[in-house]
A and B are shown apart, each in its own frame.
Chain A
Amino acid sequence: DVKVTQSSRYLVKRTGEKVFLECVQDMDHENMFWYRQDPGLGLRLIYFSYDVKMKEKGDIPEGYSVSREKKERFSLILESASTNQTSMYLCASSPSGTSGTRFDNEQFFGPGTRLTVL
């Protein structure tokens, strides 16, 4: 089974701190994603990566950056955490598309990290 793990289930940080959220997948997937989930807003895509050292902005990249130095690991970075970044953060991975596309839309999600910024 695909396993996507996230470094913490719960995290509490202070405003202005630099925060790293780590995600690791063990199925050699090319694609990795970071989402945040807020009540009433569903999941929103922050950044995704389709290869090592490659990244693309999602729908809400402001205030975030990412790093993908190894295929299995995708990090989300909050350079200076703010209270409006308090949220549930979800990581996902997917293999390259089976029909010659870059993405296979079946994504495998981690358990999430609930981040509170005080």
Chain B
Amino acid sequence: DAKTTQPPSMDCAEGRAANLPCNHSTISGNEYVYWYRQIHSQGPQYIIHGLKNNETNEMASLIITEDRKSSTLILPHATLRDTAVYYCIGPLPLGNEKLTFGTGTRLTIIP
């Protein structure tokens, strides 16, 4: 069973920042949170992961709260191509093969 909680759906205006929340209150010391997204008719795609520090890459930023019990994925300038289902996965330690995909957040970018 998924150990994360996400809202089922969100809308965001094109060009604005999309902020996708995730609760993972059971997280413990060496566990990471991973984010994937799935665009319609495609397989999931890895976005980013984090342990406790904020992370940024070419796709997104990940902000993790100080108590590590929640995080926010930020797409800074959302485009129509960012319309997808976003999965927050974990918490799990490095080396755990079982990614448990819940039902995610369906993000719709509005023109």
Residue B103 interfacial (CB < 8 Å) = yes
Residue A45 interfacial (CB < 8 Å) = yes
- Distance in Å from the Cβ of A33 to the closest Cβ of chain B? 8
The interface residues of chain A lying within 8 Å CB-to-CB of B34 are 105-106
User: Once bound together, how far apart are the Cα atoms of A48 and B98, in whole Å?
Assistant: 9
The secondary structure that dominates the B interface is loop
Interface contacts (Cβ under 8 Å), in number, total: 69
Cβ B102 vs Cβ A105 within 8 A: no
Cβ A42 vs Cβ B97 within 8 A: no
Cβ A45 vs Cβ B43 within 8 A: no
Closest to A101 in B: B95
- The B-contacting residues of A in range 55-107, CB under 8 angstroms, are 56, 58-59, 90-92, 97, 99, 101-107
The interface residues of chain B lying within 8 Å CB-to-CB of A111 are 41-43
Cβ B44 vs Cβ A90 within 8 A: yes
Cβ A4 vs Cβ B43 within 8 A: yes
Cβ A97 vs Cβ B104 within 8 A: no
User: Once bound together, how far apart are the Cα atoms of A21 and B9, in whole Å?
Assistant: 32
Using A105-B32, A105-B34, A105-B49 as known contacts, say yes or no to A43 and B44 having CB atoms under 8 A apart. yes
Using A42-B101, A42-B104, A43-B101 as known contacts, say yes or no to A105 and B44 having CB atoms under 8 A apart. no
Closest to A58 in B: B98
- Distance in Å from the Cβ of B106 to the closest Cβ of chain A? 12
Residue B59 interfacial (CB < 8 Å) = no
Closest to B34 in A: A105
- Distance in Å from the Cβ of A57 to the closest Cβ of chain B? 11
Closest to B95 in A: A101
- Distance in Å from the Cβ of B58 to the closest Cβ of chain A? 14
